[in-house]
Amino acid sequence: MNAYFIPALVTILIVVAFLAYYFTVFSKRINSALANRFGETNGNVIAIVFQRMVGITFFAVIPIMVIVFWLKNHSLSLDYFFPYINPTLTPWILGFPVVILAINLFVSKKEDNYKRYPQMRAPEWGVGLILLNAVTWGVYVLAYEFLFRGFLLGSMVEVTNVYVAVGFNIILYATVHIPKGKKEVIASLPGGIIWCALTLATGSIWACFFAHWFFAISNDYVAIYANPQMRYNFRKF
């Protein structure tokens, strides 16, 4: 088998997965039906949960089935999927959430950000909705990292040098953000570099996953605090 077959296959899977995802989750018919059935706020929350579950299916479940079962007799390193942290990097990794939170405290309070995030546009956030948002973000981000920093980066590092592997990963990562707008594409460039660097430095996707997840949820929760049309209600579940 050609050495580049697996990276090429993963690239094709990513392109197909994201096309299928965007055509599904941005269907006006589905979003309108949910809004009509459950009301604007609840319909929006259900739509976002639906989007994330579709993402898990297309970004993780289907690619894993294809790669594991179709390529079961071929070599594919799974090293990046196993939890491992280099002890010398532990202080840096533990300090990373502090840096992320500091960035979000500065950026997430801006009107441009809180008009877009959180994706669930509920005016009142009880404990249940906070947890639902965190859990669904978590599994969605994990699916993302499995595909980009696990299968794609892991397979490309085996057949080419780190710079090519990271460069290609970042380009493809930015490309799939195009439907979300120019600002998302621009933000994905440094983000892609950081997530790849974390994966390579720690030898697994898990530090990257937790950092990416914390970035997403902390952005949401700072944005809720900053948005005058949203509020927390910790007495409500």
- The reported pLDDT for the residue numbered 57 is 92
Q: How many C-beta neighbours within 10 Å does residue 160 have? A: 15
CA distance 111 to 107: 9
pLDDT tens-digit map of 3-60: 677 788 888 888 898 989 988 888 788 888 888 989 989 999 999 999 999 999 998 8
Position 141 confidence tier, pLDDT thresholds 50, 70, 90: very high
Q: pTM, whole model, 2 decimals?
A: 0.88
Q: Write out pLDDT tens, residues 168-215.
A: 999 999 999 988 888 889 989 999 999 999 888 888 888 889 889 999
Cis peptide before 118 (omega within 30 of 0): yes
Each residue of 48-83: pLDDT tens digit? 999 999 999 998 888 878 777 766 555 455 555 655
- C-alpha–C-alpha distance, residues 181 and 26, integer Å: 14
Beta-bridge partner residues of 150: none
User: Is the pLDDT assigned to residue 117 strictly greater than 70?
Assistant: yes
**pLDDT for residue 5:** 77
Contact between 113 and 224 under an 8 Å Cβ cutoff? The reply is no
Question: How confident is the model at residue 46, as a pLDDT?
Answer: 94
